Amino acid sequence: MGNLMSINGLRQSWTKHRQLQKPWQEHTYIAIDIETTGLDPINDQILSIAWVPIKPPMILIGEAQYHEFCVDPDVDLQQSPTIHGLTKAQLSSGGDVKKVLKDLEDKLYGCVMVCHHRSLDWSYLRDNRLTENLHFEPLGVFDTLSFEKNKMSFDNEFQLHNSSLTLAACRTRHGLPIYTSHHAMDDAIACAELFLAQATKIKPHNEKLRFLLKQSR
């Protein structure tokens, strides 16, 4: 049994290695946004989640998904009604979060996850109590925030501060329109658009996926 597991592990590693060597345009990406009650993935709750597939150069809006989830009556939504527009009345009849996360697990397998703040979104998928029996295995994670931060750190023209790394600020620098609402679906699409704007400016344009992912670490 041990030898079989080792062989399967080697086969999976080799398959992933070959995928990472392909040009980044040949892969499918899943842009994700998660709205939560706070910044602690262990104790806070997921309120809503949205994702949209990307097959460069296209964003597949028709395949996008958005879900809101039920919360207990005593849960403190903190600033969510103000920031996300999510109220307890809306969340009293939300969907099954475990089923949605299972669907997302299947969707991410073999694809690249795209988000704007990897340390938060990825943590909620790995460390939240609702995901303890799930195994999210994307080929990699591209963080549009980290990409922009790395780019700006080498450009003396910009002063690096938190307000310059918001999703809206990063989009503005790439000439993308401003989205005024702070909604998981809007933010997932906004993140997808930003990703394509960032990735297409990397030269050479047919660079391998491994190189693209390094740009956002």
pLDDT tens digits along 115-136: 999 999 999 999 988 888 899 9
The answer to whether residue 4 is domain-embedded is no
CATH of residue 59's domain is 3.30.420.10
Peptide bond into 177 cis (omega under 30): no
At 100, the pLDDT band (50, 70, 90 cuts) reads very high
**192 in Cβ contact with 54 (< 8 Å):** yes
pLDDT score, position 183: 87
Q: Which domain holds residue 153?
A: 23-214
The answer to whether residue 5 is domain-embedded is no
pLDDT score, position 83: 43
The yes-or-no verdict on residue 59 having pLDDT over 90 is: yes
**62 in Cβ contact with 199 (< 8 Å):** no
Q: What's this model's pTM, rounded to 2 decimal places?
A: 0.86
The whole-number average pLDDT for the span 164-184 is 89
Average pLDDT value over all residues in the chain: 84
The yes-or-no verdict on residue 3 having pLDDT over 70 is: no
